[in-house]
Amino acid sequence: MSNETKQSLDINQSNIAQLSSELDKKCRSDKAALEEQWKTAGKTPGLEIWRIENYKVVPWDKSQYGKFYDGDSYIILNTSDASPKHAIYFWLGQLTSTDESATAGFKATELDDFLGGDPIVGRQIQGHESDDFLALFPENTIFILNGGVESAFKHTQPEKYRPRLLHVKGKKNVTVTEVPLTYRALNSGDVFILDAGLMIIVWTGSKSSPSEKAKACSLSNAIKSDRRGLPEVTVTAESDSPAQFFKLLGGIGPVSDAAAGGSDLENDRRSRSVLCKLSDASGKLEFKEIARDKNIKRSLLDDNDVFIISTGFEIYIWVGNKASLSEKKKAFSFASEFIKTTGLPPYTPVIRFICGGDNVLFEEFFTK
């Protein structure tokens, strides 16, 4: 399917709501050990990435790690010497198909099964990635390109390069996303890179952050290096943009204010936090809120059950070592339902890990 015929992903119809469903069980009935890609997965420390192509798990070119297409779905495995040893994520582009996103979710769960069920597992939606996911990449930055499976990345000759406009945004975690090649995509609060092959113009909004400017400069220099040093890199401020810049954007017009680009600042993580317990100790599976905001204490976590913690920005699924199989298998479904019933954005990151796993951001939540 070409990227032009795809529609924006309906998050409510993708992956986590269907994990542990009959469809999930059917997909996983072919044992994970039969998946060729899992045979060597997680054997050595480092990052491994696969893209979903026609329902298959295909290795992503290592030279392209950190680059994702908005029309695709990916599975990312990080292996370390720490505990837990493995962390699995499935990343969904905003234009990926429902079939691709579901396959990524099922295959990520299959990989989890293959690695023993102990890895951290997290869903990531384009533009709303969690801190621990972004931390896997240099400078906490990922690079999002337009296109999909049919647009496999190729090293292009700089003199034949298709012009593109890259949006650089963030403070602590900076993301780089390709946006429409028009002045209408600009805003005063962020930095943009106009990449025209042999000409690279870094345009800095009047209210852009130092981290955005630094990231844009390092990225433009990396692009130049990748093209054998041939491109000329120019840095320009919003107030003195060269005519050539707007000519390549198809014309000049008013630039949106900083508010149009959204806020770089994070809100108070404890202002909307909720702790819920998933337990079948009574003989039936029950899900209920047990604490909120400042009353959430780590001592409330019980190794016999599963807990879902909403920070207002992420959903953490904490699985006790003695939790029942039913509690473990239904955790993602309850997290999905919690997102819908509480009005959280459907793209909210969901991260699951086992008690004893060293999740720094999770532990930090309780120390605030």
Q: Which two tokens stand for residue 238?
A: 């919003």
Please tell me whether residues 279 and 351 are part of one structural domain. Answer: yes
Q: Which residues of the chain have pLDDT under 70?
A: 1-33, 150-161, 172-173, 263-272, 357-361, 364, 367-368
CATH of the domain at 206: 3.40.20.10
Cβ–Cβ under 8 Å, residues 85 and 42: yes
Sequence-distant (6+) residues with CB within 8 A of 89 are 75, 76, 78, 108, 121, 122, 123, 124, 133
Whether 2 is in a domain gets the answer no
The verdict on residue 154 lying in a domain is no
Q: Are residues 226 and 330 in the same domain?
A: no
Residue 279 shares a structural domain with residue 356: yes
Residue closest to 101 by CA, chosen among 5, 3, 35, 10: 10
Clarify whether residues 83 and 175 are in a common domain: no
Classify residue 151: in a domain, yes or no: no
Burial class (CB in 10 A: 0-12, 13-18, 19+), 146: middle
8 Å CB contact between 87 and 119: yes
Residue 208: predicted pLDDT: 92
Tell me if 315 is assigned to some domain: yes
pLDDT at 92: 93
| Same domain for 110 and 25 | yes
Among the three residues 266, 292, 325, which one is the final residue of a domain in this structure?
A: 266
Residue 7 is assigned to a structural domain of this protein: no
β partners of residue 292: 274
Same domain, 30 and 92: yes
Residues 30 and 127 in one domain: yes
Looking at the fold, whether 124 and 194 belong to one and the same domain comes out as no
Per the listing, tokens 């844009």 go with 216
Overall domain count for the chain: 3
Name the β-bridge partners of 236: 203
Q: Are residues 47 and 136 in the same domain?
A: yes
Domain stop point among 266, 293, 323: 266
What residue type is 327 in one-letter code? E
Question: Of 219, 234, 266, which one is at a domain's C-terminal end?
Answer: 266
21 and 132, same domain (yes or no):
yes
In a domain, 153, yes or no: no
Q: Is 280 in the same domain as 333?
A: yes
Distances 32 to 25, 39, 113, 215, 311 between C-alpha atoms, Å: 12, 9, 7, 40, 33
Give the pLDDT score at 356: 75
Residue corresponding to tokens 């149009």: 260
Contacts 24+ apart (CB under 8 A), 319-324: 319/352, 319/353, 319/354, 319/355, 320/355, 321/354, 321/355, 321/356, 324/280
- Same domain as 60, residue 168: no
Decide if 163 contacts 180 (C-beta within 8 A).
no
Q: Give the pLDDT of residue 270.
A: 36
Q: Determine, yes or no, domain membership for 6.
A: no
Q: Residue 311 belongs to what domain range?
A: 274-365
46 found inside a domain: yes
What pLDDT does residue 158 have? 44
DSSP state of 29: S
